[in-house]
Amino acid sequence: MAPFLRTALFVLSILSAPVALAQPYVNLLKSSDLNQWMKPSGDPVTSGWQIEPGGVLHRSSKGGHIITRKKYGDFELWFEFKIATKGNSGVKYRVQHYGKQLLGLEYQILDDKAYPKLTRDHLTASLYDLVLPIQSETRLNGDEEFNIGKIRVQNNRVQHWVNGQLTIDEPLCGSRWKTHVAGSKFSEKDNFGENVVGHIMLTDHGADVWYRNMFIRSLGCCESIKRERRLRSSRGSRR
């Protein structure tokens, strides 16, 4: 399928998707000054990341990670992406502070073919270092083509897609989730991934990466915030 037609169908699917029990989609790349994004310090994004012709966000030089000004609970995020040769990046979500570190769950973005020795929980569309993709092979486009990513988090369940292929479908609670965390680099982070509200983050790992058509909508966001408050309250009462 031609790239233009793929993009047209992608945008059409966003605009025609049902919105019952959800908020309207918001274009996270609408403004050239990236006013919906900030540095983790809260400062505006002034270097490293820029909107290029065609509404493409390009990480072209050192700019550090950037996060959304708004926090999201249950949400659905659509985006197109491509990564430079040997590049490494990712979209993190439900990002919060764990001590001095700002961490979250990650939709991995990688030049997979450049890293043949990595396990599949480190390849594109995996839940980074936590959950292996469902399929044995990931459906990716050619080097210079954009891929379509999707992340959906609702009712303590996360799903990842790439180019229409479901790669992750996993609960974010219970013994199964704790086993994933215990076997990962996040094993010493208390209750990692169990918070229900956080920022979206685009990571800067030193590689050029491009995003376009990045749309998000909240799904029952008020309930997510209520659950987060109840969770914090219950943890405080146990101390």
Are 40 and 204 contacting, i.e. CB atoms less than 8 angstroms apart?
A: no
Are 125 and 131 contacting, i.e. CB atoms less than 8 angstroms apart?
A: no
Averaged in consecutive runs of 10 residues, what is the pLDDT profile of the chain (239 residues)? 55 49 86 94 96 95 96 97 97 96 97 95 98 93 94 96 98 96 97 96 97 94 55 63
Q: Which of 152, 160, 106, 105 is nearest to 134 (CA)?
A: 160
Domains of the chain (ranges, CATH numbers): 3-238 (2.60.120.560)
Write down the pLDDT at residue 16: 47
Place of tokens 């950037």: 66
Count of helices and strands (H, E) across the chain = 3, 13
CA 86/CA 70 separation, integer angstroms: 31
CA 48/CA 225 separation, integer angstroms: 32
Write down the pLDDT at residue 19: 44
